[in-house]
A = this chain, B = another copy of it.
Amino acid sequence: MTIDPLVIFTPSGKRGHFPVGTPILTAARQLGVDLDSVCGGRGICSKCQIAPSYGDFPKHGVTVREGALSDWNAVEDRYDRVRGLKPGRRLGCQATVQGDIVVDVPPESQVHRQVVRKAASTRAITMDPATRLVLVEVVEPDMHEPSGDFERLQAALRDQWQIDSVTAPLSVLQKLQPALRKGNWQVSVALHQPAHSDSFQILDVWPGLHEGGLYGLAIDLGSTTIAAHLCDLADGRVLASSGLMNPQIRFGEDLMSRVSYAMMNPGGDREMTQAVQQAIATLATEIAAEGGIDPRLIMETVIVCNPVMHHLLLGIDPVELGQAPFALATSGSLTLSARDIGLTTIAPAAQVYLLPCIAGHVGADAAAVALSEEPDQADQLTLIVDVGTNAEILLGDKTGVLACSSPTGPAFEGAQISAGQRAAPGAIERIEIDPVTKEPRFRVIGCDLWSDDPGFTEATKDTGVTGICGSGIIEAVAEMRMAGLLDASGLIGGPEATGTPRAEPTGRTFAYLVHDATATGGPRITVTQGDIRAIQLAKSALYAGARLLMDKRGVDRVDRVVLAGAFGAHISPKHAMVLGMIPDATLDNVTSAGNAAGHGARIALCNREARQRIERIVRRIDKIETAIEPRFQEHFVNANAIPHATDPFPELAKIAPLPQVAFGASGSAPGGEGGRRRRRG
């Protein structure tokens, strides 16, 4: 008895004996090795490239000799001539087993490859897209056995891909006959399997092998900005990232003013729906152009957003979200046709997946943060705050997760701030104030120099210094507090009390002059008492929400804090803690997750199973409604102080002891122990 040759796959280590002549692709499939193929082994798509290894492999107990694979054949030859195969690579569908062999499956030949992390804080994504491309060979029609072209395509998918239940929308049926004939009865189909379905839907069809790729959009639809990533659905690569302002801003800066607009103006909700749908359609077209692809190759869109945006996007009047009990029209995930939300520039049959909402004030964006940051998998008690116009807050670990939202308003995004602006070149994003001289230095977006570095003026000639963005205002307020320009109650001291002429009187209060560009026609940038109040309101809401979850959990401190949100990456943890935005923690345990909601959207776009996972997670999250919690108001009032009226911040005190100043309404230090004394070293 002869034993069939042994085939060992790396990196999986899967192995088995196969008869001489078995194609490597066949062996891989039988062993469940993750080896890609679009053409099903026809030597057309080249997705099944493998790298044979020769020599002694004591670890595997085999020796691979020359001739362990069949000779390079005509199909490989042609492919190599036309496109070029990397040295040492073979086509898995062409090379057949001739002897014991070790076969490496390189990452790009794996269906479920991992997308390389872009930043340490960004988790890797395992590819498992809901839409994939397959090539099929369809039997030609026969007058004596009449059947529809689509029915023969169904049979081909069953025979060649073991896919049983397939439907096609009219847009595909309309293209099918010419595609089959042009492709000489070979067509590529984009097969989509919704999150909760055993069935597949054909989203598009092309003659022969479609080489244009399949793409998806991950959209983070915020109250203020709409951000999108264009991803390749085969490998998760981001081709382009783009964003634009949410045009609904003209109906109201924050969510509640938009809800009011809908309540006050009959048809107002429809106006807002139209505005946001048009913006998304525009964004889709623009990002496709930026990525250099035909927008009609965008097969899927995943959208995450807060509940009000969710309803306004779907054409649901958000009025119920503006009043107790804050009932969502629907909280579950949704799979829609893209044209249902006016997205008509992408593939006609494109699908849209909306993540589930957690509660009336905690949306699909918070669900996306949970998907990205996985608090439900954490060993340590983790607080995640997604900072935006509305803050989503998650607290939990493996034993359970709590969630709430808090209406911070747009101050953290630079809105409602006198010199505030969005994060764009020329905006102050970093600031330091010398505790002795009270002189500031700063950096603006678009320039790596500090304002007191030589050449700064020249380097920022084009952009100028135009205002302060969200992370800049957080740093400014925290620095003012650390420099003794601001007391714990949030009052700015006057020039006498602070000893600097930059503390300028403005009526009955004072403002701190950061930069005066009036000489060159620019603005005079100050932080006013009103700005401080706006930031205090925002940060109190954020902190109170977090504190409420800590109460529910029965803890006074958390192990880790994760700052998420479109500009979460830009917030300095130390400054956030000085401000009292977040609870006290060691700085090492305060990290930024960047745009975690957007990253969650990208995960759901690239991984179908993640859609089912987040739906399970959301069902298990305990939802807290801040608006009806009696302690919220108390937490809010206490959190108004900087950093806090009652909660101790021992870790913060170790790294940034704060001066015990206190200013009266007039800006002078009212004497006594705290006045002008500074402790910071």
Instruction: Show the binding face of A for B, using Cβ within 8 Å.
Output: 140-144, 146-151, 168-170, 173-174, 176-178, 314-317, 319-320, 324-332, 336, 340, 357-360, 623, 625, 627-628
Q: Which residues of B contact A143 (CB under 8 A)?
A: 324-326, 360, 625, 627-628
| 6 closest Cβ pairs, A-B complex | A148-B331, A141-B327, A146-B359, A150-B330, A148-B330, A148-B328
- Give the chain B neighbours of A336 by CB distance below 8 A: 170
The residue in chain B whose Cβ has the minimal distance to the Cβ of A361 is B146
CA of A349 to CA of B192, assembled, Å: 23
Which label, helix, strand, loop or mixed, suits the secondary structure of the A interface?
loop
Are the CB atoms of A177 and B317 closer together than 8 Å?
Answer: yes
Of B150, B177, B340, the residue contacting A332 (CB under 8 A) is: B150
Beyond A141-B325, A168-B330: 4 further Cβ-contacts under 8 Å? A149-B320, A150-B329, A151-B332, A177-B329
Give Cα distance in the complex from A340 to B174, angstroms.
12
* Contact in complex: A174, B315 (CB < 8 Å): yes
A557 to B176, CA, bound (A): 42
* Copies of this chain per assembly: 2
Residues of B within 8 A of A169 (CB): 340
Q: Which residue of B lies closest to A356 (CB)?
A: B148
CB distance from A168 to the nearest CB of B (A): 8
Q: A173 and B331: CB pair below 8 A?
A: no
Which among A140, A319, A331 has the greatest number of chain B C-beta atoms within 10 A?
A331
> What is the bound-complex CA distance between A313 and B142, given in angstroms?
24
Q: How far is the CA of A320 from the CA of B143 in the complex (A)?
A: 12
Residue of B173, B327, B330 touching A330 (CB-CB under 8 A): B173
A328, B149: Cβ atoms closer than 8 Å: yes
CA distance A340 to B320 in the complex (A): 31
B residues within 8 A CB of A148? 327-332, 357
A145 to B331, CA, bound (A): 12
Residues of B within 8 Å of A177, CB to CB, are 316-317, 319-320, 327, 329
10 examples of A-B residue contacts, CB within 8 angstroms: A141-B326, A143-B326, A143-B628, A148-B329, A148-B332, A149-B327, A149-B330, A150-B331, A151-B330, A170-B314
A523 to chain B minimum Cβ distance, whole angstroms, is 44
Report the minimum CB–CB distance from A552 to chain B (whole Å). 12
Nearest B residue to A181 via CB reads B320
A399 to B675, alpha carbons, bound, how many Å? 105
Given A141-B327, A331-B151: A316 touches B146 (CB 8 Å cut-off): no
- Most interface-central of A143, A174, A336 (chain B CB within 10 A): A143
Other-chain contact of A173, B149, B314, B358 (Cβ < 8 Å): B314
B327→A170 contact, CB < 8 A: no
A627-B316 Cα distance, complex, nearest whole Å:
55
Report the separation of the CA atoms of residues A253 and B586 in the bound assembly, to the nearest whole angstrom.
Answer: 84
Q: How far is the CA of A170 from the CA of B625 in the complex (A)?
A: 27
With most chain B CB atoms within 10 A of its CB, the pick from A149, A316, A329 is: A329
Contacting pair B146 A328 (CB below 8 A): yes
Does the CB pair A146–B360 fall under 8 Å?
Answer: yes
Shortest distance from the beta carbon of A323 to any chain B beta carbon, whole Å: 11
Select which of B147, B178, B360 is within 8 A of A331 by beta carbon: B147
User: Separation in Å of the A541 CB from the closest CB of chain B?
Assistant: 18
Residues from chain B with Cβ under 8 Å of A140 in the complex: 325
Which of chain B's residues have a CB closer than 8 A to the CB of A147?
328, 331
What is the bound-complex CA distance between A314 and B628, given in angstroms?
53
**A146 with B340, Cβ < 8 A, contacts A177-B320, A327-B177, A331-B151 known:** no
Contact of A149 among B144, B149, B329 (CB under 8 A): B329
What is the distance, in angstroms, from A640's C-beta to the closest C-beta of chain B? 25
Do residues B625 and A146 form an inter-chain contact, with CB atoms below 8 A? yes
Say yes or no: B623 contacts A146, CB within 8 Å.
yes
CB distance from A522 to the nearest CB of B (A): 48
Query: Are B146 and A329 in contact, with the CB atoms below 8 A?
Result: no
Distance, CA A178 to CA B327, complexed state (A) = 12
Query: B173 contacts A329, CB within 8 Å?
Result: yes
Q: Distance in Å from the Cβ of A285 to the closest Cβ of chain B? A: 22
Closest to A326 in B: B143
CB-nearest residue of chain B relative to A341? B170
Complex contacts, A314 vs chain B, CB 8 Å: 170, 173-174
Q: Please determine whether A170 and B340 come into contact, CB atoms closer than 8 angstroms.
A: yes
- A180 and chain B: residue at smallest CB distance: B327
Bound together, the chains give a CA A230 to CA B176 distance in angstroms of 34
Cα(A557)–Cα(B149), bound, Å: 36
- Bound CA span A669–B359, Å: 94
Residues on B with beta carbons closer than 8 Å to the beta carbon of A174:
314-317, 329
| Nearest-Cβ distance from residue A143 to partner chain B, whole angstroms | 4
Chain B residues with CB below 8 A from A151, complex form: 330-332
- Cβ distance A63 to chain B, nearest Cβ, rounded Å: 55
A514 to chain B, nearest CB (A): 43
User: Which residues from B are CB-within-8-Å of A623?
Assistant: 146
Q: Give the CA-CA distance A169 to B316 in the complex, in Å.
A: 12
Knowing A151-B332, A177-B320, A320-B177, the reply to whether A146 touches B315 (Cβ < 8 A) is: no
Query: Which B residues lie within 8 Å of A173 (CB)?
Result: 314, 316, 329-330
- How far apart are A167's CB and chain B's nearest CB, in angstroms? 9
Chain B contacts for A146, CB-based, 8 A: 325-328, 331, 358-360, 623, 625
A136 to chain B, nearest CB (A): 16
A326 to B144, CA, bound (A): 11
Asked if residues B330 and A142 are in contact (CB atoms below 8 Å), the reply is no
Q: How far is the CA of A359 from the CA of B145 in the complex (A)?
A: 9
A147 to B174, CA, bound (A): 40
A152's closest neighbor in chain B, by CB?
B327
Determine how close the nearest CB of chain B comes to the CB of A308; give it in whole angstroms: 14
Q: How far is the CA of A141 from the CA of B316 in the complex (A)?
A: 17
A448 to chain B, nearest CB (A): 46
Chain B min CB distance to A315 (Å): 5
- Which residues of B sit under 8 angstroms from A328, Cβ to Cβ? 146-149
**Chain B residues closer than 8 Å to A320, beta-carbon distance:** 149, 177
